């Protein structure tokens, strides 16, 4: 797990007399406390041994933190210090900033803390204020700062990433399209466009033994492989080749996350890209453990970007790509399938691939070209759901707390009977939403999710990126 890189500067009074006769004795021990405390958190901490008191001190520490590549700053004001010097360091660092002071009556911390915070507010510099004592409220500090650090890291790491767009708009889904120049401007993300036929061409070049290893791994670990005239061993082998070819393209072009058009071209004439959708966003395949690569179906760019943000704020977890399909209003349960694949990690939420895959069936795709879909229902557990979407060119992000749940066999049978023979992988989800607001506001037919609760992180991400967060409650 890549931890957020955090820089810490403790600011001290620049006046020699006051520093030597009073504030030094209060500031230096608290600086050591701060280093020890933040160093105990799940972050990569960078800090100087000394307190920064002068412009030269501040500039030197800022330069060192920049060289270390930190992604957020902790500006620590344990005692009185001139606000303009604190703000100097913050502005030169130019990163999301936590301003932290203490409550002890001997330190005059609140005076310097609010002096610096008030200046930041006047100049419109966003920041998080925390006034707590390290020895009295450690949990409270972590609860406030860790979501902020994760958000700062996620936004910093977006810049320089490359999105791989395979194909173009799928099935007329306009909300899957995006403006690459707007992405470059807002997020610092570049776009590489690749034709889908490159997957087909590269698939033919995959060594037979690599494809065989992939197929053997799938068939040995999957709960079932339901071969018929549409799902043949040859079709499954070609799907495995497509997955391996896509991995090769991602590595060769340095792609960080991707979207694949798939329908209708691939599903009508070749094979669906469901193995890629099942395995790319997860932490395993036949080769063993791997870095999850977020993939959106139907070339949905804003969905892929949302998945990449969810991955980042969660510390690298896989993400789900789902259709907003059916709402059981009586039970307040949302039924979210996908056209043929979910990230296989969500079958059991296990780090052991076998635990997940034994719950996954490879079933014949209900498309002209045949091939396999990955069929399962997601394991229960907490989920953070989100979606970037645009209104009149401006970005918003829907942020929703939810949980995947099991439904009764009777409910599931009724769903199958109502839906018909075309069964797909499905997540049954309870979401904390006002249904009318959700229907009236939500900006896509696709929704994304990640295991765990990261609502505060996403709200911070939105503020850092100047995106409007939308609470659907």
**What whole-number distance in Å separates Cα of residue 190 and Cα of residue 159?**
9
Whether residues 251 and 295 fall in one domain = yes
Q: What is the CATH number of the domain that holds 263?
A: 3.20.14.10
- pLDDT band per the 50, 70, 90 thresholds, residue 1: low
Strand order in the sheet with 5-10: 44-47, 5-10, 72-76, 97-101, 128-131
**pLDDT of 18-34, one tens digit each?**
999 999 999 999 999 99
> Which H/E stretch holds residue 199?
helix 197-203
**What whole-number distance in Å separates Cα of residue 338 and Cα of residue 166?**
19
Whether residues 404 and 463 fall in one domain = yes
Strands 394-404 and 468-471, how do they pair? parallel
Whether residues 448 and 299 fall in one domain = yes
Whether residues 124 and 178 fall in one domain = no
Q: How many CA atoms lie within 13 A of 43 on its CB side?
A: 31
For residue 429, pLDDT over 90 is answered with yes
Question: Mapping DSSP to helix (H, G, I), strand (E, B) and coil, where does residue 434 land?
Answer: coil
**What whole-number distance in Å separates Cα of residue 293 and Cα of residue 255?**
9
Last residue of a domain, one of 123, 138, 158: 158
**pLDDT of 210-239, one tens digit each?**
999 999 999 999 999 999 999 999 999 999
- pLDDT band per the 50, 70, 90 thresholds, residue 82: very high
Q: What are phi and psi of 194, to 5 degrees?
A: -125, 135
Whether residues 407 and 465 fall in one domain = yes
Question: Cβ of 173: how many Cβ atoms within 10 Å?
Answer: 18
Tokens 């399209």 -> residue: 177
pLDDT at residue 415, rounded to an integer? 82
Whether residues 316 and 456 fall in one domain = yes
- pLDDT band per the 50, 70, 90 thresholds, residue 2: confident
pLDDT at residue 420, rounded to an integer? 75
**What whole-number distance in Å separates Cα of residue 61 and Cα of residue 88?**
12
pLDDT at residue 331, rounded to an integer? 85
Per the rule left: phi > 0, alpha: psi between -120 and 50, beta: everything else, 124 is left
For residue 332, pLDDT over 90 is answered with no
pLDDT at residue 412, rounded to an integer? 84
Whether residues 131 and 180 fall in one domain = no
- pLDDT band per the 50, 70, 90 thresholds, residue 106: very high
Q: How many CA atoms lie within 13 A of 191 on its CB side?
A: 22
Whether residues 136 and 217 fall in one domain = no
Residue 224 carries which DSSP code? E
DSSP 94-157: -S-EEEEE---TTT-HHHHHHHHHHHHHHTT---EEEE--TTT-HHHHHHHHHHHHHHHHHHHH
For residue 423, pLDDT over 80 is answered with no
Last residue of a domain, one of 136, 158, 180: 158
Q: What is the CATH number of the domain that holds 16?
A: 3.40.50.10940
**What whole-number distance in Å separates Cα of residue 316 and Cα of residue 318?**
7
pLDDT at residue 137, rounded to an integer? 61
**pLDDT of 257-310, one tens digit each?**
999 999 999 999 999 999 999 999 999 999 999 999 999 999 999 999 999 999
**What whole-number distance in Å separates Cα of residue 95 and Cα of residue 97?**
6
**What whole-number distance in Å separates Cα of residue 273 and Cα of residue 276?**
6
Count of structural domains, the chain = 2
For residue 421, pLDDT over 70 is answered with no
Q: Is 356 in contact with 344 (CB distance < 8 Å)? A: yes
Whether residues 116 and 56 fall in one domain = yes
- If you average pLDDT over residues 369-388, what whole number do you get? 97
Question: Mapping DSSP to helix (H, G, I), strand (E, B) and coil, where does residue 6 land?
Answer: strand
- Predicted TM-score (pTM) of this structure: 0.96
Last residue of a domain, one of 107, 132, 158: 158
In the predicted model, what is the mean pLDDT of the chain? 96
Whether residues 90 and 233 fall in one domain = no
Whether residues 230 and 245 fall in one domain = yes
Q: Is 322 in contact with 449 (CB distance < 8 Å)? A: yes
Whether residues 217 and 357 fall in one domain = yes
For residue 185, pLDDT over 60 is answered with yes
CA angle 357, 341, 174 (to 5 degrees): 160
- If you average pLDDT over residues 98-111, what whole number do you get? 95
- pLDDT band per the 50, 70, 90 thresholds, residue 418: confident
- Domain span at residue 205? 162-471
For residue 136, pLDDT over 80 is answered with no
* DSSP β-bridge partners for residue 164: 192, 258
Question: Mapping DSSP to helix (H, G, I), strand (E, B) and coil, where does residue 43 land?
Answer: coil
**What whole-number distance in Å separates Cα of residue 339 and Cα of residue 263?**
9
**What whole-number distance in Å separates Cα of residue 110 and Cα of residue 193?**
53
For the record, the structure tokens of 420 come out as 């018909």
**What whole-number distance in Å separates Cα of residue 429 and Cα of residue 349?**
15
């Amino acid at each position: 797990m890549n931890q957020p890189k955090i820089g810490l500067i403790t600011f001290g009074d620049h006046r020699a007399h006051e520093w030597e006769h009073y504030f030094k004795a209060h500031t230096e021990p608290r600086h050591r406390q701060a280093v020890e405390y933040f160093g105990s958190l799940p972050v990569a901490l960078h800090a100087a041994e000394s307190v920064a008191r002068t412009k030269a001190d501040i500039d030197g520490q800022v330069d060192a933190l920049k060289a270390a590549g930190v992604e957020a700053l902790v500006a620590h004001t344990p005692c009185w210090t001139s606000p303009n010097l604190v703000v100097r360091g913050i502005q030169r660092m130019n990163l999301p900033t936590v301003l932290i002071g203490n409550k002890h009556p001997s330190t005059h911390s609140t005076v310097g803390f609010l002096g610096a915070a008030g200046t930041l507010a006047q100049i419109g510099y966003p920041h998080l204020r925390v006034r707590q004592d390290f020895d009295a409220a450690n949990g409270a500090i972590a609860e406030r700062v860790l979501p902020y650090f994760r958000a700062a890291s996620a936004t910093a790491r977006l810049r320089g990433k490359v999105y791989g767009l395979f194909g173009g708009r799928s099935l007329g889904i306009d909300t899957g399209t995006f403006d690459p120049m707007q992405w470059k401007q807002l997020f610092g993300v570049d776009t590489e466009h690749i034709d889908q036929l490159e997957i087909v061409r590269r698939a033919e070049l995959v060594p037979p033994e690599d494809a065989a290893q992939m197929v053997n791994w799938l068939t040995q670990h999957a709960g079932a492989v339901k071969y018929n005239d549409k799902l043949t061993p040859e079709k499954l082998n070609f799907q495995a080749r497509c997955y391996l070819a896509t991995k090769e393209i991602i590595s060769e072009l340095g792609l960080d996350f991707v979207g694949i058009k798939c329908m209708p071209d691939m599903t009508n004439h070749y094979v669906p890209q469901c193995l890629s959708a099942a395995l790319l966003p997860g932490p395993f395949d036949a080769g063993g453990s791997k870095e999850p690569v977020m993939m959106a179906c139907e070339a949905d760019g804003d969905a892929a970007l949302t998945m990449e943000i969810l991955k980042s704020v969660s510390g690298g977890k896989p993400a789900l790509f789902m259709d907003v399909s059916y709402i059981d209003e009586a039970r307040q349960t949302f039924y979210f399938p996908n056209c043929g694949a979910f990230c296989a990690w969500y079958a059991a939420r296990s780090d052991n691939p076998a635990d997940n895959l034994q719950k996954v069936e490879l079933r014949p795709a209900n498309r002209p070209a045949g091939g396999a879909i990955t069929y399962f229902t997601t394991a229960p557990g907490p989920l953070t759901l989100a979606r970037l979407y645009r209104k009149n060119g401006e970005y918003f992000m829907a942020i929703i707390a939810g949980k995947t749940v099991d439904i009764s066999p009777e409910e599931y049978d009724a769903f199958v009977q109502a839906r018909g023979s075309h069964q797909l992988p499905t997540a049954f989800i309870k979401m904390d939403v006002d249904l009318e607001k959700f229907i009236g506001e939500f900006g896509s037919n696709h929704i994304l999710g990640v295991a765990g609760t990261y609502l505060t992180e996403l709200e911070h991400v939105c503020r850092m990126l100047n995106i409007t967060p939308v609470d659907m409650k």
